[in-house]
Amino acid sequence: MIDKLVDLFEYTHHYNQKIIKLVKDHTPKIDERTIALINHTINAQQIWNARILGKETFEVWQVNPLEDLEEINHQNFLTSIQIVQNFNLDNRIGYQNSKGTKFENSVFEMLFHAINHSTYHRGQINSLLKQNGIEPLLTDYIFYKR
C-alpha cells in the first residue's frame, strides 16, 4: 500500500507542477477562476498534510504568489511522502474543517482524498484553460504510467 500511495503522490506532484508551469507560461490569458483553482488545489494538499501532522493550515482559497506555487507543491509532495512512510495509515485523526465542524478519518482516507481532490481540480483547470484558448494537458494517470 505504501508503494502505491507514493506512486500516486508522484503522479500528483508531476502533473501539479506541469499545470502550474502552464499557468505561469500563459499568465496574460489566465482568468481569476483558474488562478483560484490552482491555488485551491495546492492549498488542499497542504491542509490535509497539516491536519495529519497537527500543524497550522493554509486557508482553503488562499491565493499564493504564482512564483511560489511550484515550491509549495514540492513541499506538499515531500511532506505527503514523509507521512506515507512514517504514519500508520489506519490511524484515525480528528480535525476541523474550514467551517469548524469536527470530523475524524484515517490517515489513508485523508491522503487518498488529497490525491483525488487534486485530480478533480486539474480537470476543472484544464477545462478553463481550453476556454481561454490554451491547449490543456493530458493528465490522466494512465498517460503518466506510459
* Residue 23 structural domain: 2-145
State how far the Cα of 67 lies from the Cα of 114, in Å rounded to an integer.
Answer: 22
What integer is the mean pLDDT of 110-133? 98
What confidence score (pLDDT) does residue 116 get? 98
What is the number of other CB atoms lying within 10 angstroms of the CB of residue 55? 11
Chain-wide mean pLDDT for the chain? Answer: 97
Residues 6+ apart with CB under 8 A from 58: 43, 46, 47, 50, 64
What integer is the mean pLDDT of 102-131? 98
| Beta-bridge mates of residue 92 | 106
Cα 54–chain centre separation? 18
What confidence score (pLDDT) does residue 133 get? 96
| Secondary-structure breakdown of the chain: helix, strand, coil percentages, each rounded to the nearest 5 | 70, 5, 25
For 33-84, how does the pLDDT look when each residue is reduced to its tens digit (9 = 90+)?
Answer: 999 999 999 999 999 999 999 999 999 999 999 999 999 999 999 999 999 9
Number of independent structural domains in the chain: 1
Cell 512564483 sits at which residue? 67
What confidence score (pLDDT) does residue 8 get? 98
What confidence score (pLDDT) does residue 112 get? 98
Are 116 and 9 in contact, with CB atoms under 8 Å apart? no
Element (H, E) at 94: strand 92-96
Residues 49, 83, 72, CA angle at the centre, nearest 5°? 45
What confidence score (pLDDT) does residue 82 get? 98
What integer is the mean pLDDT of 120-136? 97
What is the number of other CB atoms lying within 10 angstroms of the CB of residue 99? 6
> Cell numbers of 54, please?
497537527
Q: By C-alpha distance, which of 22, 6, 21 is closest to 136? A: 22
**By percentage, how much of the chain surpasses pLDDT 70?**
100
The CATH number of residue 117's host domain is: 1.20.120.450
